[in-house]
Amino acid sequence: MSHKEDLALMAHLMRRAGFGATREELERRVAKGYEATVEELLNPTDEQPPGQVALMLRYHPSFLLPGGVPFAAQANWMYQMLSTQRPLEEKMALFWHHIFATGNSKVDNADQMLVQVELFRKYGMGDYKTMLVELSKNPAMIFWLDNNENHRDAVNENWGRELLELFSMGVSNYTEVDVREVSRAFTGWTIAPKLPRLPYGRFSWKFEYKEEDHDDTEKSFLGQNGRFNGEDVIDIIVKEPATARFICRHLYNFFVADEPQVPAWTIEPARDEEALELMIDSFVSSGYDIKAVLRTIFTSEFFKKARFAKIKSPTEVVAGTLKMVGEFQFPDYGLLQIGKEPTYMGQSLLDPPSVEGWHTGNEWINSGSLLARINFVADRVANTSLPGVQTIISQMKADGVRTPEDLVDASLEHMGYLELAEETKGQLLEYARGGGNLDWKDQETSGRRVGEMLALIGATTEYQFG
Amino acid sequence: MTSTKKDPVVVILQLTGGNDYFNTIIPYNDSIYYDNRPYVKYERDQIIPIDSQLGFMPTMGPVKELYDQGKVAILHGIGYPNSPRSHFRSMDIWHTCEPDKVGTEGWAGRVARELDPNKENVLTAINFGHGLPRALAVPGVPVASIADLGTYGLLTGITDQSQRNKALELFSRMYSPTVGGGMVGDYLRATGTDAMRGADIVKVAPERYSSTIEYPNSPIATHLRDIAQVYLADLGTRIFYTQHGSFDTHAGEAAAHPKLWQEVSEGIAAFFQDLHEHGRGDNVIMYLFSEFGRRVHDNGSGTDHGAAGVSFFIGDPIKGGMYGEYPSCKPEHLEQGDLVPNYDFRGAYSTIVEDWFKLDGKPIVNGNFEKMPVLK
């Protein structure tokens, strides 16, 4: 593989397994090697930047306990995505947020939403059973799906149903009786009595198991009988073939290529059945280990070939662009607003439209969201005062970028080795030719033309894919 | 879809944060008001009486003038059962008409879909502000969202106009249907073309607009002026949506609440004067709502989240007056210290959908609810 091809592949990996990378980071990672990078992503050793919490507390006190101010929690997470030294761990937190979609619209306690994200970071690449058990004890989830209203003598099926339908097996793999039995197994899994809200703040919530409110009698679930508690039920669930298929298909949709929306999965065949089988094998043979599936994905040919086969989520657009232009590597002024940007494009972080999460793929795109995406990207990459854009400009100068052809090619490389349709590329070239060759003696004009070309590339349909 | 001047139009103004109903339409002759509001009340002599019992809070003078002209309908006690008293949840309920589960389709977006089923006009519904309120969000329904009419459009960061024109030409070529790229690519190009067409059409609005009315300097007045410009340009927009806030006055209500209502009232007055100057007030109604009212008893500096609220219809087609009943303020009639809603907000929506737009309300608001005869 040529060096350029290595860089392009690494850019693909870092877009999917993280939030993108600058050219400098790509070079560094290519020098280390693809497989080694995958291993590092799977087993991150670098801690978060030292003093990060103190920094955030000093610059944006509302970040850490945002309470009743949800956009501060969104900004907190966005900052973590931009500054993380553990990109795959952070990307997995976003993945689980897509699946275990919990909304602050109901939870109304942004502190607890951040606690849930922390849980995703901690268990997101481990074994699936532990993840589900921890999720079952997560106060935001308990409140979101009303398990605090699930009592021995008055069963509430909300959590039990979604655990089966949306978090593990998918519809049509269990009966209504199973839903009932799972719900009974989770009676008594609640949160300690909640204190009333403060006007601006929120009290923290704690998981509590109330034995006296737990239905300890015999249950019959998926053909097995016993005095099951929640953990026993999860033990059965993770071993179900339907669970392996359902979770792997989600991982495929998130990391490899856009699948149809989840409700269609019982009808529509998988986009790549062979790939899915490989993933399922890893999941089962590793004892339901998410990390094993991720390793299979990132080292596979089907992944390497799936460049630009997904529409980027709004969060990926915002985080990827900000990383490219080098904004908010430090909690500067303005960061508090930046968490709202994905909302303007249709993805309000920590507040999905429902427990079914967001519809992904081309459903991210409508006329309002497309305008917001294009303008957000264009405004930033054309801003030649931003550090990342300055770096791109000086690299182009150092690389001897001169002709309109050079300009288009170099800009595409800096924007993640983007591949364009021939027609689109031809049109960009024609546009670039209108300005003639770059004259680096006039640094300002050349820089402006670079920024403009980056903006135009950001406006293409192709750039909406990642 | 060509627009005719007769097409009914609604302007929805959302008072975000929970407007204090008890301090907006005030039972000024009831000692309960003064007893419950040791810190957060308006003085008796500043309240603008409507009748012997109720009055507008002091900075709603411009709305009172419209009321005296018979153009304002006050809907008392609006809300829904079992208010969660959460902004986000409550706003969701108002936006999706789904009080029991989390809904995904916005009611106003559904109206837009019915008004323009073939998506002939990309500007059938426009939001003025950042992002898209869930009320307007329905998959597949094009809705424009304009933060600032003067700078709305694609690639607005390019300040050199001739440079920008070149970039936009390039954009339209890159998004032309002849470029290959599969189904998703086709969809993206069609959407991009819609967005650009919308931006292109709407930019004529400020150019065509001329008016002697001076709008006050506030964000809501600016949005209302933008709405007037687009409406007067006859671009076929039927639903305008905007918001003002924050009405979440847990603290400092005595200072914030009058300011907020002054901005809203003056903005509304200027908007209707503008329509009248152009002789175009006859097919526009405005609807004001907030996600809930606030607690009857103040907390020393503000008020906490409550339940029942107040809505307003304003416009020439409106039969002015008071509708419904002010909920009882007696302590034994409150729920968790809050006024209890006695009118379902989905009835107000049904009034708009059925009596104004002549559409079937049931599938849009998810059921049958009592309408109010507010239209002439």
- Listed by start position, the domains of chain A span 3-42, 52-304, 381-464
Residue B207 falls inside a structural domain: no
**pLDDT at site A200:** 65
CB-CB neighbours of A241 under 10 Å = 11
**pLDDT at site B4:** 45
Better-predicted residue by pLDDT, A462 or B82: A462
By the 8 A CB rule, do B108 and B241 touch? yes
Give the DSSP letter of residue A127.
B
How far apart, in whole angstroms, are the C-alpha atoms of residue A453 and residue B286? 44
How far apart, in whole angstroms, are the C-alpha atoms of residue A16 and residue A300? 14
Same domain, B126 and B142: yes
Same domain, B162 and B71: no
Mean pLDDT, range B107-127, rounded to an integer: 94
Residues of B in contact with A368 (CB under 8 A): 127, 132, 142-145, 195
**pLDDT at site A45:** 86
Burial code (b: 16+ CB inside 10 Å, e: under 16) for A45-70 equals eeeeeeebeebbeeebebbebbbbbb
Task: Give yes or no for residue B5 having a pLDDT over 60.
Answer: no
**pLDDT at site B180:** 60
By the 8 A CB rule, do A179 and A160 touch? yes
Q: How many domains does chain B have?
A: 2
**pLDDT at site B160:** 82
How far apart, in whole angstroms, are the C-alpha atoms of residue B101 and residue B103? 6
pLDDT tens-digit map of B190-205: 889 888 888 889 989 9
Yes or no, beta carbons of B184 and A456 under 8 Å apart: no
In chain A, which stretches have pLDDT less than 50? none
Best mutation target, B188, B197, B246, B298, to test chain A (most A CBs within 10 A): B188
Residue B248: which of B4, B5, B16, B14 has the closest Cα? B16
pLDDT tens-digit map of A241-273: 999 999 999 999 999 999 988 878 888 899 999
How far apart, in whole angstroms, are the C-alpha atoms of residue B125 and residue B7? 13
By the 8 A CB rule, do A156 and A149 touch? yes
Which of B86, B131, B191 is nearest residue A365 as measured by Cβ atoms?
Answer: B191
Which of A356, A367, A456 is nearest residue B170 as measured by Cβ atoms?
Answer: A456
Q: Does B142 touch chain A (CB under 8 A)?
A: yes
Mean pLDDT, range B75-95, rounded to an integer: 86
Which of B131, B188, B195 is nearest residue A464 as measured by Cβ atoms?
Answer: B188
* Residue whose pair of structure tokens reads 């690299």 in the numeric block: A395
By the 8 A CB rule, do A98 and A358 touch? yes
Alpha-carbon distances, residue A417 vs A21, A35, A450 (angstroms):
11, 20, 16
Mean residue pLDDT across chain B: 92
Better-predicted residue by pLDDT, B83 or A24: A24
Distance from CA of B62 to the nearest CA of A (A): 32
Residue B208 falls inside a structural domain: no
Residue B172 falls inside a structural domain: yes
Task: Give yes or no for residue B41 having a pLDDT over 50.
Answer: yes
Q: Which residues contact B69 (CB under 8 A, 6 or more apart)?
A: B320
Peptide bond just before B246 cis, omega within 30 deg: yes
A311 phi, psi to nearest 5 deg? -80, 130
Assigned token pair, A44:
């991150």
Number of residue pairs across A and B with CB atoms under 8 Å? 147
Residue A111: which of A190, A200, A208 has the closest Cα? A200
Distance from CA of B113 to the nearest CA of A (A): 14
Q: Which residues contact A157 (CB under 8 A, 6 or more apart)?
A: A150, A179, A180, A183
Yes or no, beta carbons of A427 and B170 under 8 Å apart: yes
Distance from CA of A140 to the nearest CA of B (A): 15
Residues of A in contact with B155 (CB under 8 A): 374-375, 378, 455, 459
**pLDDT at site A183:** 96
Distance from CA of A231 to the nearest CA of B (A): 27
By the 8 A CB rule, do B40 and B23 touch? yes
**pLDDT at site B367:** 96
Same domain, B70 and B102: yes
**pLDDT at site A187:** 97
Last residue of a domain, one of B168, B202, B236: B202
Q: Does B336 touch chain A (CB under 8 A)?
A: no
Distance from CA of A205 to the nearest CA of B (A): 17
Least confident of A109-113, A461-465, B299-303, B306-310: B299-303
Residue B298 falls inside a structural domain: yes
Same domain, B66 and B102: yes
Burial code (b: 16+ CB inside 10 Å, e: under 16) for A136-169 equals bbbbbbbbbbebbebbbeebbbbbbbbbbbbbbb
**pLDDT at site B3:** 43
Q: Read out DSSP for A154-205?
A: B---HHHHHHHHTTTS-TTSS-HHHHHHHHHHTTTEEEPPPPPPPSS-----
By the 8 A CB rule, do A246 and A257 touch? no
Percent of chain B residues topping a pLDDT of 90: 70
Residue B375 falls inside a structural domain: no
Q: Which helix (H) or strand (E) holds B323?
A: strand B321-323
Strand, coil or helix: B58: helix
Domain that holds residue B307: 9-150+213-365
Which of A311, A351, A382 is nearest residue B158 as measured by Cβ atoms?
Answer: A382
Cα A282 off chain centre by: 22
Best mutation target, A370, A371, A384, A433, to test chain B (most B CBs within 10 A): A371
How far apart, in whole angstroms, are the C-alpha atoms of residue B364 and residue B83? 21
Same domain, B228 and B288: yes
Mean pLDDT, range B156-180, rounded to an integer: 83
Residues of A in contact with B104 (CB under 8 A): 353-354, 356
Residue B265 falls inside a structural domain: yes
Name residue A289's amino acid: D
Mean pLDDT, range B348-376, rounded to an integer: 97
Which of B134, B137, B170 is nearest residue A431 as measured by Cβ atoms?
Answer: B170
Assigned token pair, A21:
């990378």
**pLDDT at site B161:** 83
